[in-house]
Chains A and B, each alone.
Chain A
Amino acid sequence: AQKITQTQPGMFVQEKEAVTLDCTYDTSDPSYGLFWYKQPSSGEMIFLIYQGSYDQQNATEGRYSLNFQKARKSANLVISASQLGDSAMYFCAMREGRAQGGSEKLVFGKGTKLTVNP
């Protein structure tokens, strides 16, 4: 079973509007972390935002916020005031519990391609 599901292969948004990219996850570990990365056409993965499973408040980083709904196991990314430079692939990822000696590898979803229209 997929651990990270991104159901939107592609999304379109008008410049200056807000957009929500969906992410659901599956884990039985009570301690986990959720990440969003941006991947422009150049290929580099750019870290955007992190949410820990025990964090009480939704994470925010500038124009990015994470809508964390633990009971629903969802961690949607909200981008406010979209810019043309936001056009890219966006990946949701999960790191499961920091068990001693664990690799803390990231498990990624398939991504959502965001296109910002002028």
Chain B
Amino acid sequence: DTGVSQDPRHKITKRGQNVTFRCDPISEHNRLYWYRQTLGQGPEFLTYFQNEAQLEKSRLLSDRFSAERPKGSFSTLEIQRTEQGDSAMYLCASSLGVANEQFFGPGTRLTVL
């Protein structure tokens, strides 16, 4: 399967713990996006990478959140000192520069107790 993959698919953690999610985009896709989706809402943009450079961050991305894409391939999203409000589905998408479509992964569902 050459689609976007995300790991883990589900994560349950206690408030105050740190969590890290991984996204593997489609091979050769230079653009990578992170979105967050809460219950009953559409996905909301968090951050964007072009190759290894993080070029845009949403105001939603507080200083507890950090994202990396060290070699322009996979990306990680870390949330420090998780809060109950961080409970959501975290979606990763990738695209090739001139393509219209963003391909989404299956998401990581985070539950903060």
List, in ascending order, chain A residues with CB within 8 A of B91's CB.
45
How far does the alpha carbon of A103 sit from the alpha carbon of B93 in the complex, in Å?
12
Given the contacts A45-B91, A47-B101, A50-B101, A105 and B45 also touching, CB distance less than 8 Å = yes
Q: Is A42 in the interface zone, CB < 8 Å from B?
A: yes
Given the contacts A44-B104, A50-B101, A105-B48, A110 and B109 also touching, CB distance less than 8 Å = no
How far does the alpha carbon of A4 sit from the alpha carbon of B45 in the complex, in Å?
14
Closest chain B CB from A42 CB (angstroms): 7
Name the residue in A33, A45, A52, A111 with the highest tally of chain B Cβ atoms < 10 Å from its Cβ: A45
Given the contacts A93-B42, A105-B45, A106-B45, A44 and B100 also touching, CB distance less than 8 Å = no
Interface residues of B in 6-57 (CB under 8 A from A): 31, 33, 35, 40-45, 48, 55-56
Please give me the residue from chain A that is nearest to B100 by CB atom.
Answer: A50
Q: Is B79 in the interface zone, CB < 8 Å from A?
A: no
Contact B56 A103 (CB under 8 A): yes
List, in ascending order, chain A residues with CB within 8 A of B100's CB.
33, 35, 50, 52, 95
Contact A43 B55 (CB under 8 A): no
Q: Mark B92-113, 1 if CB is under 8 A from A, else 0.
A: 0101000011111111010000
Please give me the residue from chain A that is nearest to B46 by CB atom.
Answer: A105
Q: A108-B42, A111-B41 are in contact. List 12 more A-B contacts (CB 8 A).
A: A33-B100, A43-B89, A43-B107, A44-B104, A44-B107, A45-B93, A46-B104, A47-B103, A91-B43, A103-B33, A106-B33, A106-B35
Instruction: Please report A residues at the B interface, Cβ cutoff 8 Å.
Output: 4, 33, 35, 37, 42-47, 50, 52, 91, 93, 95, 101, 103-111
